[in-house]
Structure 1
């Protein structure tokens, strides 16, 4: 009998091993929703295999030693588990593992090296899980160190601040949604204009961000950093949401699955997302703001090797605005804190996006991703910053307008290989973007109807071709080096319809980069990054300069680490330096070019996440910077409006059902408003809060912005202006008042 068992074992063990070895990879799925789980970390017993699941929940087992069948799986928001590959569900040459969702515990969060993770991914995963994004402004506030300000009604893109930059509306930070660029080149209002209002917050799935010019796949505008938003591929539940707030504020959101899941594994999805938003706002003159959003998205598995994602989304919005008001008018009692000098500002905008993305898993273990996208974008904005300075009779109202077609293609190849006996991963790709901007206009107007003077009017055609290569080399299980390089080519054409001129230019730039990551142990990861980046300049500038000095380089370095201190504290800190060859931008409000010269910024970032007690979490973000202009006298080297100190943080109580809530603060320190710091933009400190009660069928919530109803200036500028009854102009702070106490009630029904 023993001999028969021995003979049977001799035959069964090889069969068992061959069967396991034939597994190409594993799909990780949520046990409840049956949908893919990304960012799952898989480690074998000796930790020489570490890999993270992608957005389809897929992990390739190429290079896995099948002599040991055990794998250890962990993911933020899921139970940490051990699996035997011989016992998992299999289909053909891949397997399925189902993970049990749970409220995250920081004690279970592990710091491991992985191929695709950036240093902030753990922080981002924690934040999304604990503090879901509930409004359009929180989309950007979810990024530590990124501040926003609104100064022309809710329909205009927010002003952005990060790492000592007032990046206006996006000049030095690149934003994208599902691979579609948000920043607009050669925009009517200014270079890099990034309007994120076409995204419905409830359908954000991931926020991937990092800081500095260190990432080869990121090109234009990535000097201070980048933020990539990914929308959901699957909708867990149908839902309808209604919000009612002060100042005649109403908002409705609908999410509706159009395909039913008939399998244990949800392999495809089609859902509809819509949003309608109305408000008069808190200004004395009603904003009459309305915004409509919609998205129809498909995601599905075509076959064993190919996944297709396609969607159409649309935004339409219009609003009135009270603009920026001067200190002297408020102090004299001419207008109130929420009043206006010219309440005939405002605008309208629309954006319609279409994208198709095909992700293919190749037989050699590589991954090939191809995406095409198209955006139809229209913009019309009326502003008045100087009132009667330039035109004492009609006033200084301006119109900025454009009609844009944006075309693009992204292609990326990823492959794990052996390089000189070392584990390595190649990531290479090409990116093509073409902007066709028609009737790009800057005009002086009166009451939005009468054009008094045309300042700029023409068509822009701008093409950006980028290619990048990155090679991550693991010198051992704890230390990796990633050299990379990027090349960008720009072709700029401007048809000046006022001067009847057609101008052309081209330019290019190489951007080498190097990243070093060292895992000291399970509690400490250290890193040092070095890189060159850039931001392009408006085509109307590039053609005048004949393509020379219009891609000013930025050189940066970061030294930092992420630390697990004890069981319940995660800390990320960095010291950084960034040098810019030229802050050279087109000022859309005046149709002029400003050369800021060489600048440098240095600073410290600190990010902390702490589990106070079961279900209680605290977070803290602090960014301190010293921005300075170079080659100018020391008493005149301040960079106007560049932030020196910003901080956000709060306390969150999080459970799957029952009461949930958070109390959060925003702190912006004082900033110089001009080059010699004789005019100061005052900082502010504001508290916000949210309380929800959640069941499986419905959720009731109350949120309050500016709980203590403090008076604060959201955006500020040192502007020279003249009021109608003034004989001379005055230069002083002009500001947009921040939100007063603003309460809102919401109800969500799940079905």
Structure 2
């Protein structure tokens, strides 16, 4: 019965609820706009001078004034990146409830510690941050999350390997990634569980990136153990633009963004734009990558009424590439291949993703907001890899093909309301999330030269449903102390039809996740926080059905104890001591088509983030992450977690101006780490420096970005793998690696109109 589910019926049913949200309305409201572009300002804080009223604007610059005390005379409106403004209530009425903020580069001396560490100064990456870093694609924006590292090992088209908080996350096993509310992680993926490919996002269209660490947030479900990252794309383009890039290794990229609607002179309350991206690179490897990527976006955002706004987005993405894969150290030392060479130059693949995403935001009579979202994704994936060369098949080689054809349907609904509990201020957040994956022809095969199929290893169809509900209640116990309690429930239904064995199997499982968080603001210069929560990551459907739904949602228990401190006028420091424990889990190894049992693990560590304004417009930052990851239930000498990072750090200098010169000089450091359980094989660390400089005018911008400024010779990804070369008598186990980017310079020119 499960496999006959028709998702469009569910979508039609949920659309019924969309129509009913229009019965609500309110008149008491305020809009905050950018005085230059007339674009709504999101995340602006609107407060009464006595702080008895405090609200944050949504993506329309909207804030409800229904809860504003009657005797309020003045409001203060502020946001990082804008000049704060104090307005008289009488002035507000005569200005048609619109407030215009003047953009500026904010000094750290103006930033105060706000009431929630969750929304602190280190939890959001802005479009300006992205603008000042050498970035080739949206996947590289992940590098900007403090403590998060990525590594490419298959030619640029495959999703990068991710590392965070003592985890080798593979391609996304324990980090929840989303774009405009749509999930990026792929469950029961052909290559690996949680596979997260962000290449369908155009970097220039990213408005901001919110992130946090740990399993402490009720609206974040599957894969949220190490943390989450959510991308928000622009609702409005400030200007039409055309951008061209060119660089070493025959690298070319072109982007264009065009507004399709005329705007009002005093307020942009709707937008329709389209954007396209095309890129090509031969690559720095000996064998040409011939990497090609195409992206297209069409997005509408506008107000349907004073209390309802609507967004609709359609995107298309496709890419093809060749890859040099992971090469054995012995082949390089013996001069069989060069540092950038390949054993099997036929690795690589092709992938595409097409998305449709609609969202309705309604403001209700009681001052609450209600978001309803529907999304659909069509996803195709085909990957060719060769990790062991001639170990399994001494004649044809060990090349494998992983392939799938996937449809994803989803629905998200979120209700958020600030209200009073007696004399206390409280905020309720509740939601429902439904995701259905329909995966056809999920394949793992042995191949030769991509064209000859030598062995069918896995072949079947997956149907996976995840339905969840959550509720969170934040109570301001005092002006200084906030307590947030939350509960989340997840239900999974897994079905697998094995075409090779001609069998079908199904299973059911569920999971309850409680959370309890404390934020205590001692004063304007110091805040303490203590977060606690239970989370999980799901395992592959092909594992779930074999285990009859048991132990396939392994729990993760975490706690963070930290502080945010302002030292002097221009120095911010955030530190956190954290602990994370994971239970028994079964892991589907997509490259081999087998199930491996993993044991319990624990990780603890220290995160440090620092920001300092050296002089006006010149900022220094430092991120340091220390972790001690270990397996439990085994001998101490055999308890190392392979490839788990132990010491990482990023930092640098950034010069920011809205016009004229700006740029950055940054480093990335990862220390040596164990490559096997006994630490007898070591994955070498690296230190890489990147730089970027731009000159901006009203009509155009020119820039230069350099990756690996010092031309360091480094290994981007490393694995302790047993492989056999064609003429070797036996297999050898050693480090296999993908060479990191050498000195790589790119020029860019953007024209605004």
What TM-score do the two structures reach when normalised by structure 2? 0.95
Superposed displacement of residue 386, structure 1: 0.1
Do 1:48 and 1:477's aligned partners in 2 also have CA atoms closer than 8 Å? no
Do 2:573 and 2:610's aligned partners in 1 also have CA atoms closer than 8 Å? yes
Equivalent residue for 1:17? none
Number of residues paired by the alignment? 725
- Equivalent of residue 266 in structure 2, options 258, 264, 267: 264
Q: What is the distance in 2 between the residues matched to 1:121 and 1:405?
A: 37
Q: 1:586-614 deviations in whole A, cap 9, x for unaligned?
A: 11001111222000000000111111101
For the residue of structure 2 that corresponds to 1:141, the secondary structure is: helix
Equivalent residue for 2:229? 227
Q: 1:60-111 deviations in whole A, cap 9, x for unaligned?
A: 22322231211122211000221112102558xx711110001121111121
Q: What is the distance in 2 between the residues matched to 1:296 and 1:63?
A: 37
- Equivalent of residue 142 in structure 1, options 125, 141, 144: 144
- Equivalent of residue 28 in structure 2, options 14, 24, 34: 24
Equivalent residue for 1:242? 244
Q: What is the distance in 2 between the residues matched to 1:99 and 1:138?
A: 31
For the residue of structure 2 that corresponds to 1:78, the secondary structure is: coil
For the residue of structure 1 that corresponds to 2:83, the secondary structure is: strand
Q: What is the distance in 1 between the residues matched to 2:118 and 2:486?
A: 17
For the residue of structure 2 that corresponds to 1:88, the secondary structure is: helix
Q: What is the distance in 2 between the residues matched to 1:710 and 1:250?
A: 23
Equivalent residue for 1:616? 618
Q: 1:302-337 deviations in whole A, cap 9, x for unaligned?
A: 101100000100100000000000000001111000
Equivalent residue for 2:460? 458
Superposed displacement of residue 49, structure 1: 1.9
Equivalent residue for 1:379? 381
Do 2:192 and 2:588's aligned partners in 1 also have CA atoms closer than 8 Å? yes
Q: What is the distance in 2 between the residues matched to 1:639 and 1:367?
A: 44
Do 2:328 and 2:735's aligned partners in 1 also have CA atoms closer than 8 Å? yes
Superposed displacement of residue 262, structure 1: 2.5
Q: What is the distance in 1 between the residues matched to 2:553 and 2:276?
A: 39
Q: What is the distance in 2 between the residues matched to 1:131 and 1:120?
A: 19
Structure 2: segments with no counterpart, 5+ residues: 1-25
For the residue of structure 2 that corresponds to 1:119, the secondary structure is: helix
Distance 1:124 1:256, change over 3 A: farther
Equivalent residue for 1:14? none
Superposed displacement of residue 130, structure 1: 4.3
Q: 1:408-445 deviations in whole A, cap 9, x for unaligned?
A: 00001111111233111110010000000000000000
Equivalent residue for 1:417? 419
Distance 1:38 1:714, change over 3 A: same
Do 2:60 and 2:269's aligned partners in 1 also have CA atoms closer than 8 Å? no
Equivalent residue for 2:70? 66
Equivalent residue for 2:732? 730
Q: What is the distance in 2 between the residues matched to 1:420 and 1:585?
A: 49
Equivalent residue for 1:87? 91
Do 1:77 and 1:129's aligned partners in 2 also have CA atoms closer than 8 Å? no
Equivalent residue for 1:674? 676
For the residue of structure 1 that corresponds to 2:348, the secondary structure is: strand
> Which runs of 4 or more aligned residues in structure 1 lie more than 6 Å from their structure 2 counterparts after TM superposition?
none
Q: What is the distance in 2 between the residues matched to 1:208 and 1:121?
A: 11
Q: What is the distance in 2 between the residues matched to 1:241 and 1:703?
A: 14
- Equivalent of residue 58 in structure 2, options 54, 58, 65: 54
Instruction: Map 1:557-636 onto structure 2 (within 5 A).
Output: 557-636=559-638
Do 1:150 and 1:157's aligned partners in 2 also have CA atoms closer than 8 Å? yes
Instruction: Map 1:417-436 onto structure 2 (within 5 A).
Output: 417-436=419-438
Do 2:123 and 2:212's aligned partners in 1 also have CA atoms closer than 8 Å? no
What TM-score do the two structures reach when normalised by structure 1? 0.95
Q: What is the distance in 2 between the residues matched to 1:668 and 1:211?
A: 19
Do 2:574 and 2:609's aligned partners in 1 also have CA atoms closer than 8 Å? yes
Superposed displacement of residue 510, structure 1: 0.3
- Equivalent of residue 178 in structure 1, options 163, 180, 187: 180
Q: 1:13-69 deviations in whole A, cap 9, x for unaligned?
A: xxxxxxxxx962211100011111111122212222222212221122232223121
Do 1:458 and 1:498's aligned partners in 2 also have CA atoms closer than 8 Å? yes
Equivalent residue for 1:687? 689
Q: What is the distance in 1 between the residues matched to 2:161 and 2:317?
A: 20
Equivalent residue for 1:364? 366
Superposed displacement of residue 123, structure 1: 2.1
Do 2:258 and 2:273's aligned partners in 1 also have CA atoms closer than 8 Å? yes
Q: What is the distance in 2 between the residues matched to 1:89 and 1:256?
A: 35
For the residue of structure 2 that corresponds to 1:122, the secondary structure is: coil
For the residue of structure 2 that corresponds to 1:123, the secondary structure is: coil
Q: What is the distance in 2 between the residues matched to 1:666 and 1:126?
A: 17
Do 1:186 and 1:539's aligned partners in 2 also have CA atoms closer than 8 Å? yes
- Equivalent of residue 477 in structure 1, options 479, 489, 493: 479
Do 2:130 and 2:141's aligned partners in 1 also have CA atoms closer than 8 Å? no
Which deviates more, 516-525 or 389-398?
516-525
- Equivalent of residue 274 in structure 1, options 273, 276, 283: 276
Instruction: Map 1:384-395 onto structure 2 (within 5 A).
Output: 384-395=386-397
1:661 aligned onto 2:663? yes
For the residue of structure 1 that corresponds to 2:112, the secondary structure is: coil
Equivalent residue for 1:333? 335
Which deviates more, 172-181 or 593-602?
593-602
Equivalent residue for 1:515? 517
Q: What is the distance in 2 between the residues matched to 1:629 and 1:611?
A: 41
Q: What is the distance in 2 between the residues matched to 1:597 and 1:279?
A: 42
Q: What is the distance in 2 between the residues matched to 1:88 and 1:420?
A: 30
Instruction: Map 1:341-352 onto structure 2 (within 5 A).
Output: 341-352=343-354
Structure 1: segments with no counterpart, 5+ residues: 1-21
Equivalent residue for 1:119? 118
